[in-house]
Amino acid sequence: MAKRLKPFRRHLNSAQDLITTAQNTRAGFIALALERNRRATPMVAEARDLKANAVQARTPLLLRRIERIQAALLTAAGVSEKAAGHFIQTERDVAIENLIIEFLEPAGDAFVEELVFRFLLTRGDSLGGSMRNVGGVLAQRKFARALMASLHNAGAAFRFLHGPTGTWADIPASGTAGLEVDLRGLTWTTRRSSRTVYFNLRVPTVRNSVDVCLLDCSANEDQPSVIENPARYVALGELKGGIDPAGADEHWKTAGTALARIREAFRKQVLNPPIFYVGAAIAEKMAGELWEQLQDGRLTNAANLTCEDQVASLCSWICDL
């Protein structure tokens, strides 16, 4: 009988295949830049609206009389939306007064421009904060798209977990385009059993969140009891979307610790579910370590997120488990 091929062998021949190419690194940075611009678009529109209303005031002090820009004035004062929720009205008034006295009045006739610049400064800082995890967000979307494609090609009917509402829904008649934005899980039934994938699931056995979890269950089952049962986990994996080569080793250090924690937690339950890793920034040293773990069985599968064929192969494997 021929020896069964290990799943990672479907798309990997050596450690070199895991290394992120310079071309894919550039493509990853471009994707991040496009996402940054997309997220910045509403902020630019807000700044234009602020300017259009602020020019009605002849002096900085008269800005206080324009009711509809008070929230924007607070933002220009350096108070983020998150922080503003903790302020009482008196504190908001003081922050705006300081903005006017210390920065807008000294700007003279250019006070509106100064106001808009300071508004964008605070909103830009907020954008920077949201962008810190954008790699992970884009990685999850890409992985979800690949999973849906594999299920669709296999003729498997599936449903998706809508994140904002926390409810399971059927795939719309218009298709799967755009579903990955709010998707937090997928569920389907094969001829053998039901399967459900969750993203960013807190696994009680591990006592931590795991990026991707495949469970032996349907969406109709009592989810808390299923999630708490370690025997229901079919596979678990870490998904890292950061593309900067300078952070590759740090991503792997974090992921490697998480993967070891998963293995140890399930080992204590006398269980050994398949463990996998998918990452965007994989340097030569990291690729060697990944390949070593694939060879000795610590990892069952792995793929470079920037390589479409590898991700497709890994997702097909998941859908076949």
How far is the C-alpha of 38 from the C-alpha of 67, rounded, in Å? 29
- Note the pLDDT tens digit of each residue in 67-105: 999 999 999 999 888 888 888 888 989 999 999 999 999
> What six digits make up the tokens of 268?
């204590």
- The pLDDT value given to residue 1: 43
Mean pLDDT in residue range 32-48: 88
pTM listed for this prediction: 0.82
Q: DSSP character for 306?
A: T
Say if CB 295 and CB 7 are below 8 A apart.
no
Longest dimension (CA), the chain: 88
Mean pLDDT lowest among 35-44, 162-171, 284-293 = 35-44
| pLDDT exceeds cutoff 60 at 5 | yes
CA torsion sign for 309, 244, 263, 13 is positive
Q: Is-contact 232 225, C-beta < 8 A?
A: no
Closest CA to 233 of 254, 202, 256, 260: 202
Q: Catalogue all structural domains in the chain, each as residue range(s) with its CATH number.
A: 7-35+133-320 (3.40.91.10), 55-131 (1.10.238.90)
Q: Note the residue count of the chain.
A: 321
Q: Identify whether the C-beta of residue 196 lies closer than 8 Å to the C-beta of residue 214.
A: yes
pLDDT in tens, 243-272: 888 877 777 888 889 999 999 999 999 999
Q: Give the span between the Cα atoms of 262 and 280, in whole angstroms.
A: 21
d(Cα 175, Cα 305) in Å, to the nearest integer? 24
Terminal-to-terminal C-alpha distance of the chain: 22
For 284, other C-beta atoms within 10 Å of its C-beta total 12
The overall average pLDDT reported for the chain is: 91
**Measured in whole angstroms, how far is the alpha carbon of residue 48 from the centre of its chain?**
29
d(CA 196, CA 83): 38
The DSSP annotation for 86-125 comes to T--HHHHHHHHHHHIIIIIGGGGGGHHHHHHHHHHHHHHH
